[in-house]
């Protein structure tokens, strides 16, 4: 049975009695709205299953998520297809589908997704992090959509980005500062691209061009490689994704999850040795060989 979808003005939610029973997602949305009243006054909330969207009054869902009007025409009790509420409900479905996708790999009970009306509003919500060049980004317990970047994505791209950022929320990436960034970002991309049907060479197009030209990275990408504006930012994400793909393909997805958990909760070098039986140097050589085979061979 399709979950019942509802849309309501946030103003009504915020004016409710403080003693009224609310679930965790709604409580989180309230906190966010109170921290940034200039962005969220008069906003709309849309709930689908374990996902709650908080949509700024200035946000155009039709612009942010092109093509959603046709996917929401059969929703229960919804507005006429193509209306603002209808589009918001369709977007909520996309978010909930991404949450369920992530939940099959790593448990994520619920998530709040913030949809501001502009890049400037997204930057305010993301401070001190930046949003330049991003489509979305994760904070400790929510995801922020960057409207301009998100609008440029295809339907598959939206699913991948949402799943990637929701994975960060699920795994607690924002509160794990000592984790190797290749594992943090590579695991999120592993979950995001899982089942997408995209080929290795399409996902890792920039890296594939280098590898086919005989240029292979010598070490796993470090934290600096993932900073906004880094010269080889796209390559870093592709390298990290293939590192995690290698672990899942060679040792199994459960070992990849175990590696992430142990590296997050302890020493990454010890986690590598305990879970995979490899030193970082040995893993790096295996990863380089895997990249060569996947990006140069007949894949």
pLDDT digits 0-9 by tens, 18-40: 333 448 889 989 998 999 999 99
pLDDT for res 66: 79
Over 90: is that where the pLDDT of 177 sits? no
**Of the candidates 94, 97, 96, the residue with the CA atom closest to the CA atom of residue 65:** 94
CATH of 6-174, one of 2.130.10, 3.40.30, 1.20.1740, 3.90.1720: 3.40.30
User: Rounded to 5 degrees, what are φ and ψ at 139?
Assistant: -110, -165
Contact 240, 189 (CB under 8 A): yes
Rounded Cα gap, residues 214 and 96, in angstroms: 42
Residue 66, judged by CB atoms within 10 A of its CB (0-12, 13-18, 19+), counts as middle
Residues 6+ apart with CB under 8 A from 204: 238, 239, 241, 242, 295
Q: Flag whether pLDDT at 260 surpasses 80.
A: yes
Higher-confidence residue of 1 and 133: namely: 133
* Confidence (pLDDT) at 178: 82
**Region 41-63 average pLDDT:** 93
pLDDT band with cut points at 50, 70 and 90 for residue 84: low
**Residue located via tokens 């790999």:** 105
CA dihedral 204, 206, 209, 211 (to 10 degrees): -70
Q: Which residues have CB under 8 Å from 61's CB, separation 6+?
A: 55, 68, 84, 87, 88, 90, 91, 115
> Mean pLDDT over residues 258-272, rounded?
96
Better pLDDT: 83 or 258? 258
Report residue 115 as tokens. Answer: 């949809």
Residue 285 parent element (H or E): helix 280-296
Q: How many residues does the chain have?
A: 299
Closest CA to 48 of 2, 115, 114, 102: 2
Looking at residues 155-176, what average pLDDT do you find? 92
> CB–CB of 136/149 below 8 Å?
yes
DSSP letter, residue 134: -
Domain ranges in the chain are 6-174, 177-296
- Walk across the sheet containing 51-55 and list its strands: 6-9, 44-48, 51-55, 111-115, 142-145, 136-138
Answer whether residue 252 shows pLDDT above 50. Answer: yes
CA 107 to chain centre: 14
| Per-residue pLDDT at 74 | 39
The answer to whether residue 14 scores a pLDDT higher than 50 is no
Q: State what percent of residues in the chain have pLDDT above 90.
A: 72
Question: Which pLDDT does position 58 carry in this prediction?
Answer: 93
What are φ and ψ of residue 53, in 5° steps? Answer: -100, 135
- What's the rounded Cα separation, in Å, for the pair 116 and 125? 9
pLDDT of residue 174: 72
Q: Work out whether the CA dihedral 7, 49, 156, 291 comes out positive or negative.
A: positive
What pLDDT score does 219 carry? 97
Q: What is the pLDDT of residue 7?
A: 34
- The pLDDT mean for the chain works out to 86
CA distance linking residue 98 with residue 253, whole number of Å: 19
CB 7 within 8 A of CB 44: yes
8-state DSSP, 42: T
* pTM confidence score: 0.87
Residue that the structure tokens 């939940």 belong to: 103
Q: What pLDDT, on a 0 to 100 scale, did the predictor assign at position 70?
A: 47
């Amino acid at each position: 049975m399709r979950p019942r979808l509802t849309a309501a003005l946030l103003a009504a939610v915020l004016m409710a009695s403080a003693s009224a029973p609310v679930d965790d997602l709604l409580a989180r949305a309230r906190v966010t709205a109170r921290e940034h009243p200039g962005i969220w006054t008069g906003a709309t909330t849309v709930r689908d299953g374990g996902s709650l969207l908080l949509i700024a009054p200035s946000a155009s869902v039709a612009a942010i998520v092109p093509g959603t009007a046709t996917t929401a025409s059969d929703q229960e009790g919804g507005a006429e297809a193509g209306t603002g509420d209808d589009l918001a409900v369709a977007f909520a479905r996309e978010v909930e589908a991404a949450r369920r996708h992530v939940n099959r790999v790593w448990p994520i009970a619920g998530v709040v997704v913030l949809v501001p009306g502009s890049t400037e509003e997204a930057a305010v919500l993301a401070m001190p992090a930046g949003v330049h060049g991003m489509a979305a980004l994760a904070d400790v317990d929510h995801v922020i959509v960057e409207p301009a970047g998100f609008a440029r994505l295809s339907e598959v791209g939206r699913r991948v980005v949402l799943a990637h950022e929701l994975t960060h929320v699920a795994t607690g990436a924002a509160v794990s500062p000592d984790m190797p960034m290749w594992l943090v970002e590579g695991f999120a991309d592993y979950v995001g691209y899982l089942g997408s049907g995209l080929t290795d060479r399409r996902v890792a197009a920039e890296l594939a061009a280098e590898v086919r030209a005989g240029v292979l990275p010598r070490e796993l990408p470090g934290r600096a490689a993932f900073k906004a504006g880094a010269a080889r930012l796209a390559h870093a994400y592709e390298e990290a994704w293939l590192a995690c793909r290698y672990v899942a393909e060679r040792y199994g997805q459960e070992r990849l999850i175990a590696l992430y958990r142990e590296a997050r909760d302890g020493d990454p070098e010890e986690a590598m040795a305990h879970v995979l039986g490899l030193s970082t140097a040995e893993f790096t050589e295996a990863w380089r060989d895997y990249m060569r085979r996947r990006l140069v061979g007949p894949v």
